[in-house]
Amino acid sequence: MSTPEEVWRKDLKIVRGYPMIHAFVLNWDMIEQFQSKPDDLVITTYPKSGTTWISEIVDMVLNDGNVEKCKRDVITTRVPMLELSVPDTRLSGIELLKTAPSPRIIKTHLPIDLLPKSFWENNCKMIYLARNAKDVAVSYYHFDLMNKIQPLPGTWEEYLQKFLAGNVAYGSWFDHVKSWWEKKDGYPILFLYYEDLKQNPKAEIKKIASFLGKTLDEETLDRIIHHTSFEVMKDNPLVNYTHVPTVMMDHSKSPFMRKGVVGDWKNYFTVSQNENFDAIYKKKMSGTSLKFCTDL
């Protein structure tokens, strides 16, 4: 039996070709065999794409914009992360999901190949939120500085090379977004963009409501927009991850709710890093109709 300390800052482990967080792999059989329910709703993202944001929005939509109901618990309990597991702690997505009331909202970053088969068999509804790769890389770098279940990121330059090569937890951003984009045509998957949510939250929240079979009036929509704005979420201890023990997430290294903007990458990428990134991006994204915006 491992202890939490034994999994801090460990190298990633490969699971069926994908680099994965060491602590999570210790529990992999349970993840593969996970049994979904037909009314489960899956929130799926590449890390740092706005998962917490959309999780709070979905919980608000399902609760008809009732802020009090969304204060019933921390976001990690209201929307458990399927693959999360830290030895010898109470942090286990699968354990939380055993007692979560239906319809369950389940968070995951798993690539399509690693998502438990049961979700496909039950044709569960899924919401995929995608964010532009440059801002994801910057956000992920800062997250890896503060989150001890991830390996240390190294310098920004070193990290950017690892990110581009897909040598970060959950593998390549390119493969992740492309495969989920293709998958959406055959399954009930609502594919959304962080940048659209930022630019026009009302239109995107309406899409989410319609996907979930809800009709919300203007007042409710405005309340959801306000409650899930970056400024409000940053100060909400139920969603800003300050409830996670500091020994695991050290917000003094970088807060979880860091900036919440589109285009912060410009503060980190050098001209040559940007040129190299664009060249690789062009190659990897050729042939896909996916379009990202990196500036608002």
Q: Considering the rule CB under 6 A, would residue 132 count as an interface residue with ligand PPS? A: no
Using the rule CB under 6 A, give the single segment among 5-13, 43-51, 153-161, 279-287 that binds ligand PPS: 43-51
Q: Considering the rule CB under 6 A, would residue 292 count as an interface residue with ligand PPS? A: no
∠ Cα 37 119 107 (to 5°): 85
Q: Considering the rule CB under 6 A, would residue 53 count as an interface residue with ligand PPS? A: yes
Q: Considering the rule CB under 6 A, would residue 59 count as an interface residue with ligand PPS? A: no
Report residue 119 CA to chain centroid gap: 18
Using the rule CB under 6 A, give the single segment among 30-38, 88-96, 224-232, 282-290 that binds ligand PPS: 224-232
Q: Considering the rule CB under 6 A, would residue 236 count as an interface residue with ligand PPS? A: no
The catalytic position among 22, 109, 176, 227 is 109
Using the rule CB under 6 A, give the single segment among 19-27, 213-221, 245-253, 256-264 that binds ligand PPS: 256-264
Nearest CA to 120 out of 27, 214, 48, 184 is that of 184
Question: Distance between CA atoms of 204 and 60, rounded to whole angstroms?
Answer: 14
Q: Which is nearer to ligand PPS, 142 or 148 (CB)?
A: 142
Give the DSSP per-residue string, 145-186. Answer: HHBTTSPP--SHHHHHHHHHHT-STT--HHHHHHHHHHHTTT
Q: Which residues pair with 92 in a beta bridge?
A: 85
Among 82, 233, 244, 248, binds ligand PPS (CB under 6 A): 233
Question: Distance between CA atoms of 196 and 25, rounded to whole angstroms?
Answer: 34
Q: Considering the rule CB under 6 A, would residue 264 count as an interface residue with ligand PPS? A: yes
Among 228, 249, 277, 284, binds ligand PPS (CB under 6 A): 228
**Whether residue 245 has a cis bond before it, omega within 30° of 0:** no
Q: Considering the rule CB under 6 A, would residue 135 count as an interface residue with ligand PPS? A: yes
Q: Which is nearer to ligand PPS, 4 or 286 (CB)?
A: 4
Taking the complex as a whole, how short is the minimal distance between the CB of residue 254 and ligand PPS, in angstroms?
8
∠ Cα 188 189 192 (to 5°): 150
Q: Considering the rule CB under 6 A, would residue 144 count as an interface residue with ligand PPS? A: no
Helices (H), the chain: 4-7, 22-25, 28-32, 51-62, 75-78, 93-99, 117-121, 133-146, 156-165, 173-183, 194-199, 201-211, 218-227, 230-234, 271-284
Q: Considering the rule CB under 6 A, would residue 48 count as an interface residue with ligand PPS? A: yes
Output the six-digit token pair for 83: 């693959």
Question: Distance between CA atoms of 118 and 35, rounded to whole angstroms?
Answer: 6
Whether residue 227 lies in the annotated active site:
no
Q: Which is nearer to ligand PPS, 122 or 242 (CB)?
A: 242
Q: Which residues lie near ligand PPS (CB under 6 A)?
A: 45, 47-53, 135, 139, 142-143, 228-230, 233, 257-260, 264
- The residues that are catalytic are 109
